[in-house]
Structure 1
Amino acid sequence: MPETKAEADLAGRRQDWGVVSTVSEAPELVVAFAAHALSLGAAEVCLYLDEPAPELERMLGANPRVRLVRCDAAYWAGLGMDRPWVPAIRQRANLKVELDAARFPWLLHIDADEFLWGPGDMGEILAAQPEEAGFLLIPVAERVHSGPADAANVFGGRFRRQVGGEAEVAIARLDGPAAPFLDQGMAGYAGGKSVFRSGGRAAAGVHLPDGAGEPLNVLYSHLILHFDGLTPAGWVAKKRRAIAQQPEWRSYPDSHRATRNQLAAVHDATDDAAAARVYSLIKELDPARETALAEQGILLDVELDLPAKIEAAFPGLALDFSAAALDRHVMAYRPRRDFQAVKHGLRAMLSRWTGRRPRA
């Protein structure tokens, strides 16, 4: 049996994998994201810069295993399109470019606030997948806080696993007033993210392949650790962007009930402090709620050791991970001026006049 990484490669027991992400977050977060992925053995971290990021380019440019792609007007013109309005469409387009290039047998597509976590060598795990498997789904766990969020360390806290099926009802009772804002215990998204095989049979979506008839192939030993809302102010800003950019949000279907409730609560907040209290209600656990959830075995404590990983990947780079530092980079948004916005705005106005719920 091979004993070294090189011997395992020669024996065909390991396959290279890369990470691709479309980013517009604080440089500190993206640096930590890249360093963590590299520490897990990713052959490359490819970052599509959704907005100009000279500071980030300066920080990351010296590592040969990090590749940066500027998504400027020339880039989108090269793909034969204008910059798509919807972020998910931009993500899908960038992912397709990487999958078509097939630089590596496998490609993990996640956001910069998502960190892969689990035991073993991912290259060996991927090499063991059946040839017919076009993707491998990794479940999600979401960061929560023991009491108030730690303003000195945006990566502090614990993680809670999603819970579906019959158990979701019982867990919702433990979450109490926070339950309407959660889907399977998640405030961000439930389900997971995927590692895609290059040259797969189906078009790759943000989470799963589109229209794939193949069975769900889930890696239960690993998790995507989702820092949904790295800071309370960042989370509120994200919700306000969604409110401004998606006039149809009030007509979200019941499958998106939790998101709709989050947006409504932030929309109705009278000031920043009231909006931040929505974050606190959802993500900051009081002792009774934390104890109850812990007894269900769904809370995890994970040590990511990010300073050591950053030093290994980007020596001498000193970063401030306080909430104040990251809140300086809260992303602005571009006003939406397309036909869809006008259409949904008119529908929303009509629904207020008639009392009817607008169609999605």
Structure 2
Amino acid sequence: MTKDMPTWGVVATVDEPPVLVQAFVAWYLSLGAAQVFIYCDRPDDPVQDLLSHLPQVSVVACDEAHWLRVGKSRPRRHEVRQVRNAREAYGRMNADWLLHCDADEYIFPRRPVTGTLATVAADADGLVVPVAERVHLPHASEESIFTGAFRRPFQGPAARRRQIFGPDFDLTYRGLTGHSQGKAFVRKDRALQLSIHRPQPIRPDQQLVLERASVTALELLHFDGLTPTFWVYKLARMLHALKKRDGMPPSAHRSRQAEELMADPDGGLRLYDRLKRPDTQLINLLKQRDLWADPAFDPSEPLARYFPAHPADLRPSAIDDWLYRKKASVLNFLHT
């Protein structure tokens, strides 16, 4: 690695609408990613054909041969599969840094990514990118799954956060419906293991050195709920996995969201609105505390550049149509 011009890559395990994976790949290539690793959780995922023309993209079908090659039979838990794939990509990569994130997470650089990585101290193992979570603006038209603004995690005492957010604060973690930890770039050839949010030490006595990026340099935009129906589907998927003993124990706020959904299976969209559509008063409070971000995020140009033969339909209705075709059993689980 040269300090002046480090290279970087990104890895994700996907079982998503193909257009989302296209957007993910196009966005990261447009930012300068030297390598993009896509692990298809469904071995027959048609997105593999959509990516075959891009030499920077390595696509892996997660069939039984893959799982035996990286360890043992296919893990039951989705999170374990994600981590195992990320660790495999870390061992394969040629780039100097690797970011492990999900297909609904997009870093937004306010200066070039490689320039930010070049400033990380040589003894640092990783760089944590802080998260902001997408919400919807009052009365705004939503022509794309990427429409909206973003709120950052609340700081300060929980009682103060609850006073600002309102009665549904306990259905969030620091005001976000998803995670507030962010995701991390990890430097190549370090004695560590990739995980969901942070690298983990191999030895119990090992100390990892992690820096944290400033939001003026990098921020992770998390579209937790591409559409309201997609958000409900993710909660239903978690409940479905737990019933089959396939899922990781959820965090406290996710458990509370799930309890609300199970108490009113037909009220999932209303629950989404309560949590993800802040009113003007809350928006103003978030702005006053520098917890509001409105970046000019739009993957349309990268999509057109990298997928000229496959126009992307980013309408929310197109994503919902995919869900009803491909994931109906999970959505219907709420009513069984």
TM-score (norm 2): 0.88
1:206 is the counterpart of 2:202:
no
Q: How do residues 196-345 of structure 1 correspond to structure 2 at under 5 angstroms?
A: 196-211=186-201, 213-220=207-214, 221-247=217-243, 256-271=251-266, 274-330=267-323, 332=327
Give matches, 1:43-82, under 5 Å: 43-82=34-73
* Percentage of pairs with the same residue: 31
Find the aligned partners of 1:79 and 1:252 in 2 and give their Cα distance.
Answer: 24
Structure 1's consecutive aligned runs of 4 or more residues displaced over 6 angstroms after TM superposition are none
Partner AA of 1:34 in structure 2: V
Describe how 1:113-132 pairs up with structure 2 within 5 A: 113-132=104-123
The residue number in structure 2 matching 1:28 is 19
**TM-score normalised by structure 1 residue count:** 0.82
Counterpart residue number, 2:333: none
Checking the alignment, whether the CA contact within 8 Å between 1:137 and 1:193 is kept in structure 2 is yes
For residues 306 and 265 of structure 2, the distance between their equivalents in structure 1, rounded to whole angstroms, comes to: 44
Q: Does 1:189 align with 2:189?
A: no
1:53 to 1:144, Cα distance in 2 relative to 1, 3 A: farther
Deviation string for 1:78-114 (max 9, x for gaps)?
A: 2241110111111111111111123111101110000
Residues 1:55 and 1:292: Cα distance change in structure 2 (over 3 Å): same
Asked if 1:103 corresponds to 2:94, the answer is yes
Farther-moved stretch of structure 1 (11-20 vs 211-220): 211-220
Q: 1:74 and 1:310, CA in 2 relative to 1: closer, same or farther beyond 3 A?
A: same
**Bigger-Rg structure (1/2):** 1
Whole-angstrom distance in 2 between the partners of 1:165 and 1:111: 28
* Aligned length in residues: 320
Instruction: Please give the alpha-carbon distance, in whole angstroms, between the structure 2 residues aligned to 1:169 and 1:291.
Output: 19
Range 75-84 or range 153-162, more displaced? 75-84
- Say if 1:252 and 1:112 are closer, same or farther in 2 by CA, change over 3 A: closer
The alpha-carbon distance between structure 1 residues 262 and 150, as it changes in their structure 2 partners (threshold 3 A), is farther
Report the Cα offset of residue 150 of structure 1: 4.8
When residues 323 and 72 of structure 1 are mapped into structure 2, their CA distance, relative to the original with a 3 A threshold, is: same
CA contact (8 A) 1:159 1:299 kept: yes
**Cα contact 1:114–1:227 (8 A) shared by 2:** yes
How much does 1:129 deviate? 1.9
Instruction: Report the AA paired with residue 243 of structure 1.
Output: L
Q: Deviations over 1:155-206 (max 9, x none)?
A: 101001112333x542321211221111111110011100011222221211
Distance 1:150 1:243 in 2: 31
Q: CA 1:164/1:215 → structure 2, altered by over 3 Å: closer, same or farther?
A: farther
Contact 1:203–1:209 under 8 Å retained in 2? yes
Q: CA deviation at 1:252?
A: 6.1
SS at match of 1:146: coil
Superposition RMSD in Å: 2.4
The 1-side partners of 2:229 and 2:131 are apart by: 23
Structure 1 residues 301 and 87 mapped into 2: Cα distance closer, same or farther (>3 Å)? same
Pick one of 135, 144, 156 that aligns with 1:144. 135
1:180 maps to 170
> 5+ residue gaps in structure 1?
1-8, 336-360
Q: Deviation at 1:130?
A: 2.0
Query: Which blocks of at least 5 consecutive residues in structure 2 are unaligned?
Result: 331-336
With over 3 angstroms needed to count, the CA separation of the structure-2 counterparts of 1:163 and 1:303, relative to structure 1, is same
Measure, in 2, the Cα distance between the counterparts of 1:69 and 1:293: 41
Counterpart contact for 1:236–1:276, Cα < 8 Å = yes
